[in-house]
Amino acid sequence: MLNFFEAFGPGGVLAFLFTIFFLDAMVVPTLPELFVMGFFASRPTLGWGLTLLAVVTVAEVLSNAALYTLVKRSGLPPFLERRMRQWVEFLIVSDERVILMNRIAPVIPFMGAFIATMKWDVRKSFFFVFLGSLIKYGVLLGLVSVLFVYFEKTTARNFSRAAIIIVIAVSFIQGHFSKMRRLGATPRGKDGKRHGNLDEGRTQKGSQTGGGSS
C-alpha cells in the first residue's frame, strides 16, 4: 500500500495518513495503528518516524477539535447525550482522564463529541488528546524500531506484521468487551450509586403498597 502512495511522494503518504485519522475521529473507526506501523515498517528511519509521529499527533488534535466544534455548535439529540453521560459515568474515571485511559483501553469513540457533551475543560482535554497520541504512537513506532535494530530486515518486517495483527486483535477484543460491558451497564443515580431497572423498582414498590393497603 505504501508503494502506491509513494507514487505521489512523501506528501501523498502523509496526506493519506492525515485523512485516515480524520475519518477515524469523525466518521468510522479505521484502525489507524495498522497504517502507522505499516508505513513506518516500510521505511524504518528516524526522520520518517518523527514525521509520521508529528502528522499523527496533529491529525488527532485537529480532527477531534473539528468534531468538538461541530457538536458544540449544533448539539446532539437529548437521548444521545443522556446515553453518552451514562456511559462515561459508568467508567472507572469520568473526567478528562478518560482521554488518557482511552489510549490503553479504547472504550470511547468520537472523543471530540464526548468532550463537548461532558463539558470538560477544553485546554486540558486537548492536551490529553495530544499527550495520549504522542505516547501511544511513539511506543508503537519505538517497538517497530527495536525490531529492525535487533533483527535482520526481512525478519524484522515479519515481526512488524505480527505486531500489527496483534494490535488489531487486541483492538477487536477490547471493543467486544466494551460492548458487553456497555450492554450490562446501569446508570448511576444522583447519590453516585448504580441503580437497577427502574420499572422493576416501580413494580416492587407498587406491590408493597398494594399489600399494605389490603
Domains of the chain: which residue ranges? 2-213
Name the burial class of residue 98, with classes exposed (0-12), middle (13-18) and buried (19+) by CB atoms within 10 angstroms of its CB.
buried
Cα separation values, 171 from 31, 36, 39, 96, 193, Å? 8, 15, 19, 22, 30
Residue 94 CB coordination number (10 Å) = 15
State the amino acid at position 196 in one-letter form: G
| 162: enclosing H helix or E strand | helix 153-183
Quote the pTM value. Answer: 0.70
CA–CA separation, 115 vs 132, rounded Å?
Answer: 15
Q: Grid coordinates 514525521 are at which residue?
A: 51
User: For 39-47, what is the mean pLDDT?
Assistant: 86
Angle of CA points 37, 128, 143, to nearest 5°? 25
CB neighbour list of residue 191: distance below 8 Å, 6 or more residues apart: none
Lowest mean pLDDT among 4-18, 57-71, 74-88: 4-18
In the predicted model, what is the mean pLDDT of the chain?
77
Q: Which residue has the higher pLDDT, 206 or 147?
A: 147
pLDDT at 62: 94
Largest CA distance in the chain: 84
188: which strand partners? 194
Q: According to the model, what pLDDT value does residue 176 have?
A: 57
Q: What is the mean pLDDT of residues 108-131?
A: 94
Please name the residues in contact with 59: beta carbons below 8 A apart, sequence gap of 6 or more: 17, 18, 21, 22, 25
Q: Which amino acid is at 18?
A: F
pLDDT digits (tens, 9 = 90+) for 135-162: 989 988 988 888 776 655 555 555 555 6
CA torsion sign for 150, 153, 154, 156 is positive
Cell numbers for 129, please give them. Answer: 488528546
CA distance 38 to 203: 56
Nearest by Cα to 53 from 26, 28, 86, 17: 17
